[in-house]
Chain A
Amino acid sequence: MSVKSIATPVQPLRIKRRAERRFRSVKSRHVLLALSVSVLLFILFSAVAPGWMASHSPTEMSESILASPSAGHLLGTDQYGRDIYSLLVYGSRQSLLIGVGSVLIGGLLGSVLGLTAGYRGGWLDSLIMRFVDMMMTIPGILFAILISATLGPSLKNMILAVGLSTFPGYARMMRSQVLSIKSAPFIDAASTIGASHFMILRRHIVPNCLPPLIVMATIGTGTAVLISTGLSFLGLGVIREIPDWGYLLSLGRSYISVAWWISLFPGIFISFLVISINLLGDELRNLLEPRSRR
């Protein structure tokens, strides 16, 4: 064993590097956050006021069919000569509605079920959770297909389908969260004070369940867009004059060898939306930690 010269202040290199890396990662986290916020703002603006953001009318057919990206058509045109960029801008409203709407439905339903099962316990817990398990065995996309197919393709049904296929996850998560919080000493403390069940739920349990729920919901928004994309791709989506992103992606399929841009850019938009929402969700969770509040 070699013994190096003594009494030199030691600074293990590896540790130092690790510290540097951590510092750098803090910086890059901020950059990523700024990027994802701008992406989301862009999509949000597009959804609210597409007229301001688009370069062309989404229904306007130009003479250049299947034109590759150029100064005139930023992201190229499709087989009817429509501007892809403008189609994406106009389609964002639908994609966003599906994402947010289905998370609201799935998250709300799942949370209420999970909360009830976890807090009440006993036979009701078993009943609810077996139902949730049953729903979980059906693949989400299959379930969504089932609903879309039976209720017919419309925006409302699409939201319903995606929402219902995602609620079991929320229910499971909420239940386990409630169970762990329920055993915390401060719940005992609250009940020895005389607080009612409603009070304990409202003031202690729900607020403490929110952080993971918010993270899951943000991630869920991305997933919902993906599922709806899948449905549209299968032809079970909303068929309208202006296609949503998923449908646009599927439309480009037939021309993939001659006009890759029709499919590629919707794909990139979907990925950006999903990644941005996920990053934002992470950040939101950090903000909700009470320790980081001051």
Chain B
Amino acid sequence: MGTLLKLNQVSIDFNTRQGPLRAVHHINLEIGTGEIVCLVGESGSGKTITSLSIMRLTDYEGAVISSGELMFDGHNLASLSQKEMQELRGKRIGMIFQNPMNALDPLFTIESQLVDSILTHRRVTKPEARKLALELLQKVGITEPEMRLKQYPFELSGGMLQRVMIAIALSCDPELLIADEPTTALDVTIQMQILQLIRELKDTLGMSVLLITHDFGVAIEMADRIAVMYAGAIVEQGPARKLITAPEHPYTQGLIRSVQSYHSHSEGLYTIPGSIPPLQELPTGCRFHPRCAFASERCRQEEPVLALTREQHQVACWNTAEAGQAFAEYATHKETAAPINNLAALPAEDDLLVDIQQVTKTFPLRGSLFRRSKKAVHAVDNVSLRIYRRETLGLVGESGCGKTTLGRLLVQLEKPTAGTITFDGQDVSSLSDREWKELRRRMQVVFQDPAGSMNERWRISEVIAEPLHVHIDLNEQDRMARVKETMKLVGLNPDWHTKYPHELSGGQLQRVCIARAIILKPSFILLDEAVSALDISIQSQIVNLLKDLQRELGLTYLFITHGLDVVRYISDRIGVMYLGKLMELAPAEELFTRPAHHYTRALLDANPSMDPDHHAQSSISDIELPSPIHLPTGCRFHTRCPAATERCRTEQPELREIRDRHWAACHHPL
């Protein structure tokens, strides 16, 4: 197998007002012909800018390849002119991006965009190009390609658009495909289909793939080799399997242990302390040493370089021996996931806090001026759900399933179309403004985007104190004392209260949001994708914090997410939603080990695991999610269900208890 692309000591600098800022430092990376290499790293690790440098798109980002060479099939890409690069881009190197919805021009049809890209690089006539476009769409598994060609991007779903993007990238048979987080914006069932497609295409076309991801699960699914990046440098790389089972760099070990600890039943998740340092404040010596348990004096002084430790495996660490031993010890002692299928361990179901009864929410679509539209989006359809005091109820489902709307209904950010919601015995829709304000004190929300959910013009102390302003008359001194006390409780340095939001990292900001939520000592917190936007190492810190707070303050959580690993770890019971319906409701461990609904099963199957022997698969029919405007009759899932029968097509299944505390809405439960 020859080498197609070789990055040799490549460094990339950003030009800033304060002078050049090193974003990527002396990285070496090789991609062989027909090989999938995964570049794994958390946000800010420099993985995206590395991929852009291969296309020399860095020039447009105000960055400069300041040293090193990028050898692609005998050419040094770093020394080519932009014009010469244009010859390579699209033709020999294709690229797909994270968000397919933004990567296509909304004004042009799929056909014109696909044909354009073919005509740019190939000497064919327009009719020939059109034929090629059709073939390409078939190749990337798009059903009814003739119809799709005529459509505009907004008419296609995210998964299909990503397929179109891949088709465009493939239009000139590139030797190298760069995929930058190609499935991060997609649902887990669609993600599997796209990843499978990339793997098949690699096999049939013999191209090389550089896959950039933050998700170790995806990397294990896909990669022949994995390179792990941290703060602008590659810290470890080698064949995928060995890298996962026997990582040698403490950072890789930490990441893998964090992910794996979601499947354990230990008290807290394994976490790497601290967070990625900003580029301006990189520590001396090894850039990981402030967060490393094995850091020695040498690590503080001297920067380690990538060195071969075993066959094809390189690590940049001074203490691999110690670290390797520690991980081996962990691996042998690792709990072999003894599932506590013990229903008695669950919180008692006698102390009802939230009772959602037959709640429905529809959003009418706007018709035109002369024609009233009768159409509506059925976001939540006749859902009943109970949440008991001190429990964590997880709510999972793919985008558009109505889980977020249900949460918003609960905290009255939306009014239900039908049904009642009772909080601690009070019907929330019948309350007067004053009673409702009192109730607000006891139910709080933490949103997905911590930076967006605070006013960026306010200092941290003002953000945290906002609920106090609304509800409690305190003098300035008492208020500050309370703010600082809460900051300590959520693990923030109280001296930071004068800072502005943009001075804190994402994880710290989410702590601020949590502090704001608990400062009034509520009994219930809605966590709407509260950890989904955070990096793995930060995510586990926040999950631990949430668990601790729940224990200390006796909180009840409704945890809404699409992340299956997190929800399994944090929840006592889990509800699964699909197209506005609650499909299944069961204790967490029961749901994961014995799912009853075929949809739940499909979700679990598609979830990439950390086990290199276990491949995720798509057990769902290769059909797109139906639109929430034109819902299928009968069981909502029957269009994609492998076990659908005539009855499923006509009769809507009711939610019924099929095992102890295990409810499912399915005619043919597993």
Please give the residue numbers on chain A whose beta carbons come within 8 Å of chain B beta carbons, in ascending order: 1-12, 14-16, 18-19, 22-23, 26, 184-186, 188-196, 199, 203-204, 207-208, 290-291, 293-294
The answer for the CA separation of A208 and B457 in the assembled complex, in Å, is: 8
The answer to whether B62 and A15 touch across the interface, beta carbons within 8 angstroms, is yes
Is B292 part of the contact surface with A, judged by Cβ < 8 Å?
Answer: no
**By CB atoms of chain A within 10 A, which of B74, B455, B466, B469 has the most?**
B455
The answer to whether A15 and B79 touch across the interface, beta carbons within 8 angstroms, is no
The answer for the CA separation of A18 and B14 in the assembled complex, in Å, is: 13
The answer for the CA separation of A124 and B160 in the assembled complex, in Å, is: 41
Q: Given known contacts A3-B74, A10-B78, A12-B64, is B500 in contact with A194 (CB within 8 Å)?
A: no
The answer to whether B413 and A293 touch across the interface, beta carbons within 8 angstroms, is no
Which partner residue on chain B sits nearest A189 by CB separation?
A: B453
Please give the residue numbers on chain B whose beta carbons come within 8 Å of chain A beta carbons, in ascending order: 15, 17, 59, 62, 64-67, 69, 71, 74-76, 78-80, 84, 87, 411, 413, 437, 440-441, 443-445, 447-449, 452-457, 466-467, 469-471, 500-503, 513, 516
The answer to whether B84 and A186 touch across the interface, beta carbons within 8 angstroms, is no
**CB within 8 A of A10: which of B65, B441, B455, B471?**
B65
The answer for the CA separation of A146 and B79 in the assembled complex, in Å, is: 66
Q: Given known contacts A192-B440, A194-B470, is B67 in contact with A9 (CB within 8 Å)?
A: yes
Residues of A within 8 A of B516 (CB): 189, 193
The answer to whether A193 and B17 touch across the interface, beta carbons within 8 angstroms, is no
The answer to whether A185 and B447 touch across the interface, beta carbons within 8 angstroms, is yes
Q: Given known contacts A15-B62, A193-B440, A290-B457, is B449 in contact with A1 (CB within 8 Å)?
A: no
Sort A-B residue pairs by CB-CB distance and give the 8 closest, nearest first: A194-B440, A185-B453, A185-B452, A4-B79, A192-B445, A189-B453, A19-B15, A193-B467
Closest CB of chain A to B497's CB: distance in Å? 14
The answer to whether B59 and A1 touch across the interface, beta carbons within 8 angstroms, is no
The answer for the CA separation of A69 and B15 in the assembled complex, in Å, is: 50
Residues of B within 8 A of A22 (CB): 15, 17
The answer for the CA separation of A96 and B470 in the assembled complex, in Å, is: 42
Residues of B within 8 A of A9 (CB): 66-67
The answer to whether A186 and B457 touch across the interface, beta carbons within 8 angstroms, is no
Residues of B within 8 A of A19 (CB): 15, 62
Q: Given known contacts A9-B66, A19-B15, is B76 in contact with A190 (CB within 8 Å)?
A: no
The answer for the CA separation of A23 and B16 in the assembled complex, in Å, is: 10
The answer for the CA separation of A193 and B74 in the assembled complex, in Å, is: 61
The answer to whether B453 and A290 touch across the interface, beta carbons within 8 angstroms, is no
Residues of A within 8 A of B79 (CB): 3-6, 8, 10
The answer for the CA separation of A151 and B62 in the assembled complex, in Å, is: 57
Closest CB of chain A to B64's CB: distance in Å? 6
10 contacting pairs across A/B (C-beta < 8 A): A5-B79, A6-B79, A23-B17, A185-B452, A188-B447, A189-B445, A192-B443, A196-B470, A204-B455, A208-B457
Closest CB of chain A to B484's CB: distance in Å? 19
Which partner residue on chain B sits nearest A193 by CB separation?
A: B467
The answer to whether B66 and A192 touch across the interface, beta carbons within 8 angstroms, is no
**CB within 8 A of B84: which of A2, A5, A207, A293?**
A2
Closest CB of chain A to B414's CB: distance in Å? 10
Interface of A is mostly: helix
The answer for the CA separation of A26 and B76 in the assembled complex, in Å, is: 35
Closest CB of chain B to A196's CB: distance in Å? 8
Residues of B within 8 A of A16 (CB): 64
Closest CB of chain B to A288's CB: distance in Å? 9
The answer to whether B69 and A6 touch across the interface, beta carbons within 8 angstroms, is yes
Interface of B is mostly: mixed
Which partner residue on chain B sits nearest A184 by CB separation?
A: B452
Which partner residue on chain A sits nearest B17 by CB separation?
A: A26
Closest CB of chain A to B452's CB: distance in Å? 4
The answer for the CA separation of A208 and B455 in the assembled complex, in Å, is: 8
Which partner residue on chain B sits nearest A195 by CB separation?
A: B470
The answer to whether A294 and B503 touch across the interface, beta carbons within 8 angstroms, is yes
Which partner residue on chain A sits nearest B413 by CB separation?
A: A188
**CB within 8 A of A15: which of B59, B447, B456?**
B59
The answer to whether B87 and A291 touch across the interface, beta carbons within 8 angstroms, is no
The answer to whether A194 and B453 touch across the interface, beta carbons within 8 angstroms, is no
Residues of B within 8 A of A7 (CB): 69, 76
Residues of B within 8 A of A5 (CB): 79
**CB within 8 A of B457: which of A1, A195, A207?**
A207
Closest CB of chain A to B22's CB: distance in Å? 13
Closest CB of chain B to A190's CB: distance in Å? 7
Residues of A within 8 A of B502 (CB): 290-291
The answer for the CA separation of A189 and B453 in the assembled complex, in Å, is: 6
The answer to whether B59 and A12 touch across the interface, beta carbons within 8 angstroms, is yes
Residues of B within 8 A of A2 (CB): 84
The answer to whether A191 and B413 touch across the interface, beta carbons within 8 angstroms, is yes
Residues of A within 8 A of B413 (CB): 188, 191-192
**CB within 8 A of B449: which of A185, A196, A199?**
A185
17 more A-B contacts (CB under 8 A) besides A3-B79, A192-B443, A207-B455? A1-B87, A2-B84, A4-B80, A6-B79, A15-B62, A18-B62, A23-B17, A185-B453, A186-B454, A189-B447, A189-B453, A192-B413, A193-B466, A194-B441, A194-B471, A195-B470, A203-B455
**CB within 8 A of B466: which of A18, A23, A195?**
A195
Closest CB of chain B to A286's CB: distance in Å? 13
Which partner residue on chain A sits nearest B79 by CB separation?
A: A4
Residues of A within 8 A of B470 (CB): 193-196, 199
Which partner residue on chain A sits nearest B459 by CB separation?
A: A290
Residues of A within 8 A of B62 (CB): 15, 18-19
Residues of A within 8 A of B84 (CB): 1-2
Residues of B within 8 A of A293 (CB): 500
The answer to whether B80 and A188 touch across the interface, beta carbons within 8 angstroms, is no
Closest CB of chain B to A184's CB: distance in Å? 6
The answer for the CA separation of A16 and B20 in the assembled complex, in Å, is: 11
The answer for the CA separation of A207 and B452 in the assembled complex, in Å, is: 16
Closest CB of chain B to A179's CB: distance in Å? 16
Residues of A within 8 A of B471 (CB): 194
**CB within 8 A of A3: which of B17, B76, B469?**
B76
Residues of B within 8 A of A190 (CB): 466
The answer for the CA separation of A6 and B466 in the assembled complex, in Å, is: 59
The answer for the CA separation of A190 and B448 in the assembled complex, in Å, is: 15
Residues of A within 8 A of B454 (CB): 186, 189
Closest CB of chain A to B16's CB: distance in Å? 9
Residues of B within 8 A of A184 (CB): 452
Residues of A within 8 A of B456 (CB): 290-291
The answer for the CA separation of A10 and B176 in the assembled complex, in Å, is: 23
The answer for the CA separation of A7 and B325 in the assembled complex, in Å, is: 39
The answer for the CA separation of A5 and B444 in the assembled complex, in Å, is: 63
Residues of B within 8 A of A15 (CB): 15, 59, 62, 64
Residues of A within 8 A of B65 (CB): 10
The answer for the CA separation of A208 and B452 in the assembled complex, in Å, is: 13
The answer for the CA separation of A290 and B462 in the assembled complex, in Å, is: 14
Which partner residue on chain B sits nearest A23 by CB separation?
A: B17
